[in-house]
Amino acid sequence: MERITARYYIETPYEVEKAAAVLAGEQSSGTFVAVPGETKELKDRFAARVERIEELETVASPALPGASSSYGGYRRALVDVSWSAENFGYNLPTLVSTLQGNLYEITRFTGLKLVDIHFPDAYASHYRGPRFGIAGCRSLTGVGPGRPLIGTIIKPSIGLTPAQTAGVVHTLAQAGIDFVKDDELMASAANSRFEDRVDAVMEVINRHADRTGKKIMYAFNISDEMEPMLRKYDYVIKCGGSCVMMSINSVGLSAVKRIGDLGQLAIHGHRNGWGMLNRHPLLAIEFPAHQKLWRLAGVDQLHVNGI
């Protein structure tokens, strides 16, 4: 079977080789103590492998609370670990459970961050991935490769009525905007029911398109439970929209993939909550790994911080 490789940035009070072996064992066939079913044949087929270790600096204090060091410091390293794809199959939640899972609770690590993931072409091609991507979004907005798309967010974040939101969109359309999005806090508020906001905004967008030939891309925030999200998605299609937005960390990989597999609208992935995954230099996940997972799920655009 093809193997998927993940790179980790680790800090440990133990020997790096032993810590890496624990990482591989904990996230595959290993257990804290040997058990009768843990045969050589099983290990050969399902055990994760430590493929590469690049030792870095040693520091005096741990990045996170954990075991005390008996080696006079805390060792840092980049570690590559691989798994047979048959361990999790084409199952993104189980893939994430394998690549991250219980690792952050193990006291052998006083720092651990998933830096990157390598997917073989045969594995990645199983997923539809972004339906539109850069070229498709340029086509939907009528903006060629000679300039960037110019976009903005409706503010105040919450509180505007559908008519007020549509009024802002009208002003932006007159100014030549390409892309507008709901704020992540605006889904279906007490004074701005989702369907009413779509009706009001799309009336402005369609009228502007009829007059000028330019159709603005508006990312309507459909983030919700699964069934309401599907209904909202269908409503945007019915009204002539071209894009929906999802708060990806809130709704999860399975929900994003379900919507992405529909393939009729571009998906703007808003990464709110990203700070808790990335702000600490030795905890959680880096953006190269993060964005690959969401691209597999079908996201066309990813919200990022300002340059």
For the segment 248-260, what is each residue's pLDDT rounded down to a tens digit?
999 999 999 999 9
User: What is the C-alpha separation between 299 and 292, in angstroms, rounded?
Assistant: 10
| Tokens describing residue 78 | 């980049």
Report percent pLDDT > 70 for the chain.
97
Q: Which of 62, 68, 53 lies closest to 21 in space, CA to CA? A: 53
Which runs of consecutive H residues, i.e. helices, occur in 80-238? 92-99, 121-124, 133-141, 162-175, 194-212, 226-238
pLDDT for 29 beyond 90: no
Of 139, 123, 143, 142, the closest CA to residue 131 belongs to 139
Q: Evaluate if pTM is beyond 0.85.
A: yes
Amino acid 240: pLDDT: 97
**Residue 299: what pLDDT?**
98
Domains and CATH numbers, the chain: 3-124 (3.30.70.150), 133-271+284-302 (3.20.20.110)
DSSP letters for 262-276: T-SSEEEEE-TTHHH
pLDDT at 97: 95
pLDDT digits (tens, 9 = 90+) for 99-146: 998 889 888 899 999 999 999 999 999 999 999 999 999 999 999 999
Structural contact between residues 169 and 212, judged by C-beta atoms closer than 8 angstroms: no
The mean pLDDT value for 37-62 works out to 88
Taking the C-alpha atoms of residue 243 and residue 253, their distance in angstroms, rounded to an integer, is 18
